[in-house]
Structure 1
Amino acid sequence: MNSRSWMRLVLPVLFIVLAAIPFVAQVVDEPFYVTFFARVLIYALAACALNIVLGFAGLVSFGHAMFIGLGCYAVGILSHYGISNGWIQLFVCIAVCIVVAVLVGSVCLRTSGIGFIMITLAFSQMFYFLMVSLTPFGGDDGLNIYESSNFGWFELSGSSEVYWATWALLLMLALFLNRLRTSPFGMVLRATHINPRRVDAFGYSVFRIQLSAYVLSGVITGIAGFLLANLTAFAVPSYIAWHLSGELIVMIVIGGIGLVTGPIFGAIVFLVLEEVLKGWTTHWMLVMGPIITIIALAGRNQFAWLKAIFNRPSAAGPAIKTRPNGELP
């Protein structure tokens, strides 16, 4: 079974299972499941967005939580002034993320490697301390959001509404990324990671391609922050802190760097494991750390064993071997 057949199998099954969670929660009378998995889907959305620059372009952004914070505060600050119109909030969220992503990306993409990582982290921390210093909006204590985003015919007024909105957006994003990965832009973007000099020799601007990907990634991450603000009814500077960016990277590593569904699996595994360990011990981080380390050392495609089951040689001949990212050797 090749990479496309694998996607046709996994993607619908994954989203059917996710769609069944609210109904299961209703049957067992556990509304917490809806709230928890809404959070999982929001983080999966942000991780998929980060995967555009990390998995496709090979750019390790350690400051992507900045866009989650921008999305949260776009809702929180407008709500603070009595503006609860969801379309206005979403427009402001996207506009701010585009402006910030263009400015930050234009600086960060002048560097590479450790320089890119540290500059993205520096910008994220700048926004973190900016929001801490804004005492009219709660400062370090955060900002309560008393009115949810109202889109007229649809309002993000509860966990269930946020869950289905995020589920739909995540499905559309997964389908979009599946096409983007093999599109001309996606192929050139992936080529900038493999051999940027050759891409430049073919007449493509590596800087513009990577900047476009960074802006796209930042906007989608900002929308994830927009949804997170409506789920928690709270905007706090900790959403911009560096550790959240690190968690997004870990989710991608767990699921498989460069895979379309990898960040979704990674977010589910990471957050479910975290929740289970919290229920077992107050020192859950001591257990979580070694487990994540073992998974990270296991390789870049931790779910390759599932694909191996479907890639067994048939009677017609041996299966075509592919690389972890689905390309032919």
Structure 2
Amino acid sequence: MAALPQKKISRLPAWLLPVLCLAAAIALPFVVPVYYVQFASKVLILGVLAMALNLVVGQGGLVSLCHAAFFGLSGYVLALMSPKYDAASLLLTLPAAVLAASFAALVIGALALRTRGVYFIMVTLAFGEMLFYLFHDADFAGGSDGAFINVKPELTIAGVRLLDLDKPLTFYFVVLAVTVAAIALLVTVVRSPFGHALAAARDNERRARALGFPIFRIRLIAFVLSGALAGVAGYLAAVQFGFVAPQMLGWHQSATVLVMVLIGGLSTVTGPLIGALALLGLEEVLKATLEQWKLAEGLIVIAIVLLLPNGVRQLWPMLFGDAEPKPARGKRATPAPTPAPETGHA
């Protein structure tokens, strides 16, 4: 008799975790030093990139290794459009950077999506490396040394400065707002008929094609949308660090973000964001405690993938229970009694 109330208390509402996380994110800059505010901004930026990649990997079933190219390309657009000693316009450079990333995703996706499986992985990897060496060897982009953004962009309307991204607190809340908007957009897309069609193509492409779904078009739209969100993340990363380098476009950056997706969980929109927090937080702790921290990080990531196949996000239902009660395993729900058929006698 005493176990029943405990069971009810352990199940927390599904909306409680997002509300608590948002409240903690809003309060964070007022209770921690500036270093941790900047670290949180970095986590959110890479979390947006990981969620963008998950739209293709988790929802579309396509493993892409070129999303860092969209990430870095957007940052280079900002660097090339920024005046040397003046602040660039946010209203001008942000749309230009996102459009450049979207166009690159459109071209690469239109070619890569004609392949399947490991061939798709290799084609996206090849395109990512092509863009990496383009900026690595180009003098106009600073070559292997990269390029600096001396003055961060600002939002100015009628001579009034509305946003000064040079302030860590202002930049953090801008990144937080972008993250919330990205989550809302991705949740809407995933729950829409388009998202269901994308998942149907992932689960059984032949059946989805037989039902009349335009598979190529659906995947291309998802790939372009994913590239655009990666461009937004790359723009914010360039603003935060004031520097862009070819390494932002390299395959190792794509692989790192893919690890964030895997340890965060493929089945949810916000799982990769939690994966970014887990991976970057783990790196911060290991760097401060171990000399061979890369080895320890690899072993821990392997353990997470093996022990938590749905990502670290599944720890919440494991600890606090699901939002809705589920029937016990091995037991079937008792069907409703079927009324006896009429015999026709009075």
TM-score (norm 2): 0.85
Instruction: Give matches, 1:241-252, under 5 Å.
Output: 241-252=250-261
Tell me, in whole angstroms, the C-alpha distance in 1 between the residues paired with 2:185 and 2:18: 12
Trace 1:91-106 onto structure 2 (pairs within 5 A): 91-106=95-110
SS, match of residue 154 in structure 2: coil
Deviation at 1:282, TM superposition (A): 3.1
Q: Which of residues 118, 123, 128 is equivalent to 1:124?
A: 128
Residue 20 of structure 1 aligns with an amino acid whose one-letter code is A
Gaps of 5+ in 1: 323-329
Distance 1:264 1:270, change over 3 A: same
Q: Which aligned runs of 4 or more in structure 1 are off by greater than 3 angstroms?
A: 80-83, 308-314
Q: Is the 8 A contact 1:68 1:225 kept in 2?
A: yes
Identical columns (%)? 35
Unaligned runs of 5+ in 2: 1-7, 157-161, 330-346
Q: Tell me, in whole angstroms, the C-alpha distance in 2 between the residues paired with 1:313 and 1:132.
A: 50
Is the 1:42–1:228 Cα contact (8 Å) retained in structure 2? yes
Which digits, 9 at most, give the CA deviation of each residue in 1:167-207, with x for residues without a partner?
01111221222232221111111111001111111211100
Q: How does 1:2-151 map onto structure 2 within 5 Å?
A: 7-25=14-32, 30-80=33-83, 84-151=88-155
On the 8 A contact 1:101/1:215 being kept in 2, the answer is: yes
Is the partner of 1:43 in helix, strand or coil? helix
May I ask how many residue pairs the two structures share in their alignment?
Answer: 312
Residue equivalent to 1:262: 271
Task: Provide the residue aligned with 2:195 in structure 1.
Answer: 186
Structure-2 residue corresponding to 1:273? 282
Structure with larger Rg: 2
Task: Say which is worse superposed, 300-309 or 35-44, in terms of deviation.
Answer: 300-309
Q: 1:159 Cα shift?
A: 2.5
Do the aligned residues in 2 keep the contact of 1:70 with 1:225 (CA within 8 Å)? yes
1:19 aligned counterpart, secondary structure = helix
Q: Is the 8 A contact 2:14 2:323 kept in 1?
A: no
Contact 1:313 1:319 in 2 (8 A): no
Alpha-carbon separation, structure 1, partners of 2:194 and 2:248:
31
Q: What is the distance in 1 between the residues matched to 2:220 and 2:34?
A: 41
Determine the C-alpha separation between the residues in 1 that align with 2:281 and 2:292: 16
- Deviation string 1:263-313 (CA, Å, 9 cap, x unpaired) is 111010100100111111232101101111111122133332321344469
Most deviating of 305-314 and 198-207: 305-314
Q: 1:72 to 1:312 in 2, by over 3 A?
A: closer
Once superposed, what is the RMSD of the aligned Cα atoms?
2.0
User: Residue 250 of structure 1: CA displacement?
Assistant: 0.7
The TM-score with structure 1 as length reference comes to: 0.90
Partners of 2:176 and 2:119 lie apart in 1 by: 35
